[in-house]
Structure 1
Amino acid sequence: MPKRNRLALAASLIQRLPHPMHEPLLSRLFGSQVHFAGTAQVRIQRMSQHEVRMSLTNRRRVQNHIKGIHAAAMALLAESASGCVVGMNLPDDKLPLIRTLKVDYLKRAQGNLHATATLSDAQRQAMQEQDRGQVVVEVTILDESHEQPIRCEMHWAWIKR
């Protein structure tokens, strides 16, 4: 039986509400806990224990000098999506920690960005059963042309609180 996880419980309660309320409430919940993501207005489209989907709109607040999404904002989106899916699976008595954030910038991003972070069943089970451990979270970032402007590798760890 899974251990208590307040983030997963809150997401579950929000997802019982009418569908149009999901994105704004999930995004507000996440932004209240991860202030930098809230400042950048990272949006959550889907939040489950297997997958988290987020987006970032290309607007002045997150733009670079050529009017594209800034490299740091792209990394923020990848870290946010991967951290959120980890957070959805770790019991409340464990603390998630980013260990390595590797981002290769492949091409200039076109427009808005969408991130999808996933965990396997084996990864989810390890988070439930082990007091400490590590996981590489798969996260894909796509721009409006459905291309990958960046390739990411996110290494997360957890320890007992």
Structure 2
Amino acid sequence: MSENNRLARLVKKIESLPGFLQKPALNFALRRTVKLVGTAKVEVLMLTKAHSEFRLKNRTKVQNHIGTIHAAGMALIAETATGMVVGMNVPDDKVPVIKTLKVDFLKRAKGDLVAKAHLTEQQVNSILTLEKGEVEVAVSVTDEEGKEPINCQMIWAWTPKRS
């Protein structure tokens, strides 16, 4: 079956590169496509049709006044992880859009953040078969201590592209 998704085709093509080039090539492509991801230097650790993992390093450019990752950066990494895993599945004739981005701030983050998102087989099937719809994408964001400084609700929708 030929791939009907631009992002999944790109990831597959990058996976054919030598191992040491794969992550830099994927980071370059994603950062160039989503400008804020590039500005913040969000880093892809893993991206498949069911799972994604992204890291945001605690660098000066993304810090708040207390030296931790800014609230907007925390939301960005969760939105990126969920959006990319949805984006791996949405057919090229549809467009993914975030419908709900709810972030509860639970504690001060320590160091770098890692966001992990995943879709169930049923959610992937819905994205592939329904003309339009929405999914709540499970995501966890952890800091260097392994604690979750934020709790998120991310609902992504997909609709047919307008002509």
Fold shared per TM-score above 0.5: yes
Give the C-alpha shift of residue 28 in structure 1. Answer: 1.3
Q: Alignment partner of 1:108: what SS?
A: coil
| Cα deviation digits, residues 110-158 of structure 1 (max 9, x gap) | 0000011100000000011011000000011010000001011100101
1:122 corresponds in structure 2 to 122
1:145 corresponds in structure 2 to 145
1:112 corresponds in structure 2 to 112
Counterpart residue type for residue 54 of structure 1: F
Q: Alignment partner of 1:123: what SS?
A: helix
Give the C-alpha shift of residue 17 in structure 1. Answer: 1.7
CA distance in 2: counterparts of 1:2 and 1:151, whole angstroms: 37
Deviation beyond 4 Å, 4+ runs, structure 1: none
CA distance in 2: counterparts of 1:22 and 1:3, whole angstroms: 19
1:90 corresponds in structure 2 to 90
2:49 corresponds in structure 1 to 49
1:22 corresponds in structure 2 to 22
CA RMSD of aligned residues (A): 1.1
Label 1:17 to 1:3 Cα distance change in 2 as closer, same or farther (>3 A): closer
User: TM-score, normalising length from structure 1?
Assistant: 0.97
- Paired positions, count: 161
User: TM-score, normalising length from structure 2?
Assistant: 0.96
| Cα deviation digits, residues 75-123 of structure 1 (max 9, x gap) | 0000011000000000100100101101011111100000111000000
Task: Report if the CA contact (8 A) 2:3-2:9 is conserved.
Answer: no
Give the C-alpha shift of residue 18 in structure 1. Answer: 2.1
Counterpart residue type for residue 111 of structure 2: G
Label 1:3 to 1:11 Cα distance change in 2 as closer, same or farther (>3 A): closer
CA distance in 1: counterparts of 2:28 and 2:158, whole angstroms: 24
Label 1:2 to 1:157 Cα distance change in 2 as closer, same or farther (>3 A): farther
1:31 corresponds in structure 2 to 31
Q: Alignment partner of 1:21: what SS?
A: helix
Counterpart residue type for residue 64 of structure 2: N
Q: Alignment partner of 2:123: what SS?
A: helix
